[in-house]
Structure 1
């Protein structure tokens, strides 16, 4: 008798889901599906099970399927319809017409609350007006000495790894990036480069890994269900370590600014946090809002810069001729003097190498948006509220229609010769009104550390080599290298 009741309830649930998703089903019927196996109830969700490497392989295949079908494909995550796009025209329409970030990003709310990177438009828009002036070129240029100082510390820390086998450049660069971001954003020296077991970078890495897995597991989207999972205690504790770290600094900086001489405040305000505290006459953000926004800057800034610079370092190790061209340019422009703001503008080939690295391995390889009203994406395809549009940046950057037949090949010269003119063909930091405010900050930080690194060390492949194919990756919100960015170092003579 019990099994009959269960069967009846399951049938009722399926009928209810089908009725509720009838609008989405009509849209899905007009679009090609990915090459994944589609199962009853689960849809294509089973294809994203597994660890972070399995997840990345599925996402890469989703991108290839989209490119093979005119830049668009649809998939079901249980009852959630996801439409993946990898065509610049469609991406432009979505980024301009859908400003709301997807509900899947709620999984990171445990850490950043309503930080503007994923906040609803009603919260993002007024905060953006306060945040935008903070990232003025004059402010960013004043941070170059900090980037240069932290780069020197990194180079000294790498000295013991010279001619000593494989080293994870990512672990080292993350320390540089964390220290640089904390000093420029919070006005605080964390010294994580001197403390390999520092709890802040370790907690950040763990949180990102768990959040990425939670995002693609629909049954864990509910907080009440996720609290029963084995991952939840670590997810919660890692977020708390980061929040406590930032909270203490905010309280201290606000108090120090309050006690300082009003005449001297202009001189003493140096970090982004100081500028935010004093914005709009000191009434710009509450302590909680400061915590949310500084966490966004610290965490996104740390990982974006570390991932971007590390992939560029691996690619230079894999392509020694490219590396030597970068080295020669750095020596011609910098010699042996510290990096200055005006020097970064002259490092054209290094910038092309970094851009090409960001094209092939964008740190943020996916962006998800929610339509708030009906609008036509392509002939016969009308998006409606409730579905998810996934902008597949990794696939977009490999669209042969715009990047040519060698779209999968590392060739920095393309950015010096004739890169695509479509404004949405290349978007490593997003595009449009919700583009990352820290894009220029990240580029300056990455160029500084790469110029310093190549000037002192020759980057060589790891012991096992790179192989002839692509660098294997995994997804932890940010794109990561499966081999943890290992290479070898040789001191330049």
Structure 2
């Protein structure tokens, strides 16, 4: 009986595979790809493998697009149609006019729910209005002290690695980033940098890795199948740890807010309540949502704080790690950054100030060039709710999925010239940011926290480079002929964990 059912299912899938919308078939004939096509699974076989294989496939797809007439390709994952874009002008049209997230985000929503990044458009509109004011410069600039405090801790934690040979900086920076985001979100210091086995940190990392592994395998998209696998039990266990940790922080913080507000209401001489303390994102979200027709529920607060934890931790951490890795391979650029820091800040131990960080023009150029070569989020997906005509003349049919390759746009010679693969921060020294530079996405659904991420990146690098010099790992020299090995796990990462060596500057 089982065999008979299986035969029926296969026949039905074959029928479905042969029936595809005409507009999609026409576009696929125009664009196409270099991969093998198989009935039922389409081009999915090319996406099988580990995280490094997956990132390699994404990069190869972009290179395919560079060589094709329309600077784009198309492919099928099962019966789902995708258009891959590697051109900035096309990407801008897609990201401005197509706001609906594509179906693959449902796997991340398993953890984050309708948090801002993955929310449907109707929910996103309301939440963006509530959250965006929290990232205004007048609030974010106050976090410099938080970033610096935690950066000094990571500097202390790294002392055991000085002169001890190769080590991976990823875990150290990850814990720094998560400590920073927890304090700026909840106003509480979790001290995870000094607790390598913190259950929330480990559960958070594992859950995200498992989500990434599921994304490009169509047979794992079916919940009924996925729930039969051992990995699903692990996902449920780690999700429980994450939710309990976040819920506990929200309950604690909301009680503290009530107590503080009660004390302030009874104090007559406090005339300017806005400057009493540095407000956390949770406080700002609660305050801003009260000004709408419906205040945030506990579940909504959990969703948004989880999204901020995911985006704020990985974006900042991966950006810091790639910058450290590249500076270790380019000693001349590293010394130029250090000299700028010394010129602006000197040897003073006074706390970092926002105005000082804004003067570090070359340091910012180095960070931008790092984000160009190695954008933490290498691609973005959208689903077209209407037919869409791109600047190159192709028509993307309604219900098509579009993959905007940020990695591809940042490595497209048409935008950056023949030295596109060179690490050259001077290309960002003119003061004009090219339109083809979009590490934090583009359009209405761009990253609301990009100022936060850049401030965290800058503060951490300044703190570390004032104390340490980073040098290359043993027997490894990065260049165009020996590129970094990359993997994809929601964010783009270095296969070898950002391995470097380190020595004191003085």
Q: Same fold (TM over 0.5)?
A: yes
Q: Corresponding residue for 1:286? A: 297
Q: Corresponding residue for 1:48? A: 47
SS in 2 for 1:480: strand
User: Is 1:396–2:409 an aligned residue pair?
Assistant: yes
Q: Corresponding residue for 1:62? A: 61
SS in 1 for 2:470: strand
Q: Is the CA contact (8 Å cut-off) linking 2:13 and 2:40 kept in structure 1?
A: no
Q: Corresponding residue for 2:247? A: 247
**RMSD value, Cα:** 1.9
Q: Is the CA contact (8 Å cut-off) linking 1:110 and 1:236 kept in structure 2?
A: no
Q: CA deviation at 1:434?
A: 0.5
* Aligned pairs for 1:383-422 within 5 A: 383-417=396-430, 421=434
Unpaired segments ≥5 residues, structure 1? none
User: Is 1:470–2:483 an aligned residue pair?
Assistant: yes
SS in 1 for 2:459: helix
Q: Whole-Å Cα distance in 2 between the matches of residues 146 and 378 of structure 1?
A: 44
Q: Is the CA contact (8 Å cut-off) linking 2:323 and 2:367 kept in structure 1?
A: yes
Q: CA deviation at 1:58?
A: 0.7
Q: Is the CA contact (8 Å cut-off) linking 2:142 and 2:278 kept in structure 1?
A: no
Q: Corresponding residue for 1:110? A: 110
Q: CA deviation at 1:231?
A: 1.6
User: Is 1:375–2:388 an aligned residue pair?
Assistant: yes
Give per-residue Cα distances to partners, 1:67-118, cap 9 Å, x unaligned: 1114210011111111100111110110011101111010011210000101
Q: CA deviation at 1:7?
A: 5.2
Q: CA deviation at 1:484?
A: 0.3
Q: Corresponding residue for 2:308? A: 297
Q: Is the CA contact (8 Å cut-off) linking 2:344 and 2:359 kept in structure 1?
A: yes
Unpaired segments ≥5 residues, structure 2? none
Q: Whole-Å Cα distance in 2 between the matches of residues 414 and 476 of structure 1?
A: 29
Counterpart of 2:372 (choices 335, 355, 359) is 359
Q: CA deviation at 1:6?
A: 5.9
SS in 1 for 2:375: coil
CA 1:447/1:4 → structure 2, altered by over 3 Å: closer, same or farther? closer
Give per-residue Cα distances to partners, 1:376-395, cap 9 Å, x unaligned: 12555222232210000001
Q: Whole-Å Cα distance in 1 between the matches of residues 50 and 234 of structure 2?
A: 16
Q: Corresponding residue for 2:153? A: 153
User: Is 1:445–2:456 an aligned residue pair?
Assistant: yes
Q: Aligned pair count? A: 490
Q: Whole-Å Cα distance in 1 between the matches of residues 201 and 278 of structure 2?
A: 26
Q: Is the CA contact (8 Å cut-off) linking 2:384 and 2:399 kept in structure 1?
A: yes
Q: CA deviation at 1:2?
A: 9.3
Q: CA deviation at 1:10?
A: 3.1
Q: Is the CA contact (8 Å cut-off) linking 2:84 and 2:402 kept in structure 1?
A: yes
SS in 1 for 2:17: helix
Q: CA deviation at 1:327?
A: 0.6
Q: Whole-Å Cα distance in 2 between the matches of residues 230 and 466 of structure 1?
A: 40
CA 1:281/1:44 → structure 2, altered by over 3 Å: closer, same or farther? closer
Q: Whole-Å Cα distance in 2 between the matches of residues 401 and 168 of structure 1?
A: 35
Q: CA deviation at 1:31?
A: 1.4
Residue range with higher mean Cα deviation, 1-10 or 396-405: 1-10
Q: Is the CA contact (8 Å cut-off) linking 1:111 and 1:240 kept in structure 2?
A: no
Q: Whole-Å Cα distance in 2 between the matches of residues 380 and 405 of structure 1?
A: 26
Q: Whole-Å Cα distance in 1 between the matches of residues 264 and 27 of structure 2?
A: 60
User: Is 1:189–2:200 an aligned residue pair?
Assistant: no
Residue range with higher mean Cα deviation, 248-257 or 396-405: 248-257
Q: CA deviation at 1:280?
A: 4.2
Give per-residue Cα distances to partners, 1:217-265, cap 9 Å, x unaligned: 1111222221112321222222222222111111111122122224376
Residue range with higher mean Cα deviation, 329-338 or 23-32: 23-32
Q: TM-score scaled to structure 2, two decimals?
A: 0.93
User: Is 1:333–2:332 an aligned residue pair?
Assistant: no
Q: Corresponding residue for 1:224? A: 224
